[in-house]
């Protein structure tokens, strides 16, 4: 079977951070791929070839088959050839994973590590932290209302709230949050010249790896001190769970320990911020929608789920084939690398009626922004709860909201979303 090859411009767009920063043209390319070559190989000069998976059904099929589609073999996030080679040279066993967290693990390690914290993130347990989250939401709302009728909702509001929540649950004190925010943005959005450490465009792979190394060393040092503290004086937080956890009767090795902290500390805020800001943008553009959801007794679930589909903050993850497997009519060969493009899957015409319409009333919203299967987002219930509570606390306090300037998106292939959302609002 001959592998279908994507047209050069589609292949180039899906690896280009700038394309995700201005994503209407990107959506057109992805729609073309879904219709004409839903599973086809992207060939680019700087990257090893990979299958671009654009349809919802194919991403589901791959995600539900971790035996054949592994996370640990190749990078889980798109990395160019030189970057992977440098990362392999810099990591134990040349595995190329600068961080080894749940995301980079496969069976049997993956489930053992996941189970250490999974119950913390289940809806039943989250009820315990709900009041605390509401308190943080209220403080966030008061801060926004104090800004005098205009703000950059992405920067001034959405960027802080989920960070405060996850840091509270993790056990990181409020004074260290700016450091965590900066580190996460560097880790996830490091291709965006406005967000990376040096504030200049990253021009070489060496530069990118050096910056990541620096960021990871900073995180590791920080969490080593936290671990020592929680071993000496345990508390009711996730840091205590991680610091004192054992796998097969032994304490977690240092690399996996810092990987665990890093994934919990970073996975949950830029993502949730992006969906929160995306929800606000749609409300600011549509007064009828705003009126409906500012009613105290309005059910926010449909709004939240649709905002998550609409924004799809995690834009892709990669998988590596462990065997020859047929998916979507194509034969994937052992060793092949695949990009699960969630941005595309969440606009798939075969999975969603009218996918380019923001519709909080979708009957069965099967959005796949949290992934699917063994690695499905650990924090999905927390993300939904945070967004719901903020909307419950914020919307009834506003009389009106409208855009006050051009929104702008992060230029990143991995975690994307609004970095600027200027709005004007009246307090109720």
Q: Residues interacting with ligand HEM, by CB under 6 A?
A: 63, 102-103, 114, 166, 263-264, 267-268, 271-272, 275, 308, 313-314, 317, 369-373, 375-379, 382-383
Strands (E) located in 173-213: none
Cβ closer to ligand HEM: 202 or 256? 256
DSSP string, 25-60: HHHHHHHHHHHH-SEEEEEETTEEEEEEE--HHHHH
- Write the CB contacts of 338 (distance below 8 Å, at least 6 apart in sequence): 50, 51, 53, 62, 69, 318, 319, 320, 321, 332
d(CA 345, CA 63): 13
3-class DSSP state of 149: coil
Closest CB 371 distance from ligand HEM, rounded Å? 2
Residue 160 or 202: which CB sits closer to ligand HEM? 160
Q: At what angle do helices 380-394 and 301-311 cross, to 10 degrees?
A: 120
DSSP 8-state secondary structure symbol assigned to residue 158: I
Which residues, 6+ apart, have CB-to-CB distance to 361 below 8 Å? 302
From the CB of 277, what's the least distance to ligand HEM, in Å?
11
Closer by beta carbon to ligand HEM, 86 or else 110: 110
The DSSP bridge partners found for residue 47 are: 44
Least CB distance from residue 45 to ligand HEM, whole Å?
A: 28
CA 420, CA 111: separation in Å to the nearest integer?
37
Kindly report each contact of residues 198-201 with a partner whose C-beta sits within 8 Å and lies 24 or more positions away, as own/partner: none
- Rounded to 10 deg, the angle between the 123-145 and 161-170 helix axes is 140
15 versus 167: smaller Cβ distance to ligand HEM: 167
Which is nearer to ligand HEM, 124 or 199 (by Cβ)?
A: 124
Helix axes 177-188, 205-232, angle to 10 degrees: 140
Q: Which lies closer to ligand HEM via its Cβ, residue 37 or residue 111?
A: 111
Alpha carbon distances (Å) from 231 to 240, 244, 296: 7, 6, 44
For 297-397, strand residue ranges (E) read: 316-321, 325-327, 330-332, 337-341
**What's the min distance (Å) between Cβ of 119 and ligand HEM?**
13
CB-wise, 47 or 309, nearer to ligand HEM?
309
Report in angstroms how near the CB of residue 181 gets to ligand HEM at its nearest. 14
- Closest approach, Cβ 175 to ligand HEM, in A, equals 21
Main-chain phi, psi angles of 348, to 5 degrees: -70, 120
CB 271, min distance to ligand HEM, A: 3
If the CB atoms of residues 208 and 415 are measured against ligand HEM, the closer one turns out to be 415
Q: How far is the CB of 188 from ligand HEM (least distance, A)?
A: 11
Q: Supply the minimum distance, in Å, between the C-beta of residue 136 and ligand HEM.
A: 13
Rounded least distance, CB 114 to ligand HEM, Å: 5
- Residue number of the CB atom closest to ligand HEM: 379
Q: Which is nearer to ligand HEM, 55 or 425 (CB)?
A: 55
| Token pair listed for 77 | 């996030």
Burial of 46 (0-12, 13-18, 19+ CB in 10 A): exposed
> Measured from the CB atom, is 275 or 320 closer to ligand HEM?
275
The DSSP H or E segment spanning 9 is helix 8-14
**Dist CA 21 CA 313 (whole Å):** 12
């Amino acid at each position: 079977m001959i592998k279908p090859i994507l047209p050069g411009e589609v292949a180039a767009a899906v690896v280009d951070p700038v394309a995700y920063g201005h994503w209407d043209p990107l959506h057109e390319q992805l729609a073309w791929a879904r219709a004409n070559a839903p599973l086809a190989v992207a060939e680019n000069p700087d990257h090893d070839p990979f299958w671009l998976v654009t349809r919802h059904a194919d991403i589901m099929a791959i995600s539900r088959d971790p035996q054949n589609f592994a996370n640990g073999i190749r990078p889980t996030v798109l990395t160019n050839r030189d970057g992977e080679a440098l990362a392999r040279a810099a990591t134990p066993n040349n595995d190329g994973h600068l961080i080894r967290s749940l995301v980079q693990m496969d069976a049997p390690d993956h489930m053992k590590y996941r189970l250490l914290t999974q119950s913390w993130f289940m809806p039943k347990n989250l009820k315990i932290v709900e009041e605390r989250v509401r308190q943080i939401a209220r403080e966030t709302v008061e801060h926004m209302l104090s800004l005098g009728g205009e703000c950059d909702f992405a920067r001034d509001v959405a960027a802080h709230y989920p960070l405060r929540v996850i840091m509270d649950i993790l056990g990181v004190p409020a004074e260290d949050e700016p450091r965590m925010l900066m580190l996460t943005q560097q880790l996830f959005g490091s291709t965006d010249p406005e967000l990376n450490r040096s504030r200049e465009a990253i021009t070489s792979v060496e530069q990118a790896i050096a910056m990541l190394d620096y960021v990871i060393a900073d995180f590791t040092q920080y969490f080593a001190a936290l671990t020592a503290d929680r071993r000496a004086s345990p508390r009711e937080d996730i840091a205590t769970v991680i610091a004192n956890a054992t796998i097969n009767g032994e304490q977690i090795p240092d690399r996996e320990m810092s990987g665990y902290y890093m994934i919990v500390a970073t996975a949950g805020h830029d993502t949730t911020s992006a969906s929160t800001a995306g929800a606000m943008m749609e409300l600011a553009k549509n007064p009828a929608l705003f009126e409906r959801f500012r009613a105290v007794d309005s059910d926010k679930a449909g709004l939240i789920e649709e905002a998550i589909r609409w924004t799809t903050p995690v834009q892709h993850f990669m998988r590596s084939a462990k065997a020859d497997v047929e998916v979507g009519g194509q034969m994937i060969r052992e060793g092949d690398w695949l990009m699960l493009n969630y941005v595309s899957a969440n606009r798939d015409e075969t999975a969603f009626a009218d996918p380019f319409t923001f519709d909080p009333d979708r009957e069965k919203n099967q959005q796949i922004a949290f992934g699917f299967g063994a690695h499905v987002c650990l924090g999905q219930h927390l993300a939904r709860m945070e967004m719901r509570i903020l909307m419950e606390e914020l919307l009834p306090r506003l009389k009106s909201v409208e855009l006050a300037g051009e929104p702008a998106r992060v230029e990143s292939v991995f975690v994307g979303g609004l970095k600027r959302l200027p709005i004007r609002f009246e307090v109720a």
